[in-house]
Amino acid sequence: LDVVDIVRQIELTRSDFEIVIAGEGEDRPRLVATLNEIIGANRVNFLGQLDSSSLVSNFYRTIDILLITSDRETGPLTAWEAMARGV
Within 10 angstroms of residue 36's Cβ, the number of other Cβ atoms is 13
Q: What is the pLDDT of residue 5?
A: 93
Q: Is the pLDDT of residue 75 over 70?
A: no
Within 10 angstroms of residue 31's Cβ, the number of other Cβ atoms is 17
pLDDT (tens digit per residue) in 19-41: 899 888 899 999 999 998 988 87
Q: Is the pLDDT of residue 74 over 80?
A: no
pLDDT (tens digit per residue) in 32-68: 999 989 888 788 888 999 998 888 888 898 899 998 8
Residues 6+ apart with CB under 8 A from 55: 22, 81
Bigger pLDDT: 72 or 67?
A: 67
